[in-house]
Amino acid sequence: MHELSITQSILNIALSSAENAGAKKINSIKITLGEMTGCVPQYIQEYFDIVSDGTIAAHAKLEFKTVPAVAQCADCGKETRLIRFRFRCEHCGSQKLTIVSGKEFLVDSIDIED
């Protein structure tokens, strides 16, 4: 359910940016979403369709770029892909990991009509 508050934030950012640019319509919003956020793009789009109704962002398409969850191992120094909460180096089995990517959540760009 945390997608609803996140979606409202996306809408607020898009509307503010569009207003500053003098836009009449928002066509699409590009979002970078890390795997570790736990957010489901389909839910975000569904909530967006609801919260954007009646605004210049109504019918805007959300385009997601997913960033994989990756960590660096403190023991062997290699990067490892984290899959479904398995926090163990795939190379040496160590659990001494530092997250490198996968927590991102950014509004990258907004396609508008002026």
3-state DSSP: the chain helix, strand, coil percent, rounded to 5?
A: 30, 35, 35
d(CA 6, CA 22): 24
DSSP state of 60: P
Three-state DSSP at 79 gives strand
Of the candidates 91, 52, 62, the residue with the CA atom closest to the CA atom of residue 74: 91
pTM to 2 decimal places? 0.86
Query: Could you state, in chain order, the average pLDDT of each consecutive group of 10 residues for the chain (114 residues)?
Result: 87 97 97 93 96 98 96 97 86 95 96 94
Whether residue 58 contacts residue 79, with contact meaning beta carbons closer than 8 Å, is answered with no
Q: What is the pLDDT of residue 2?
A: 75
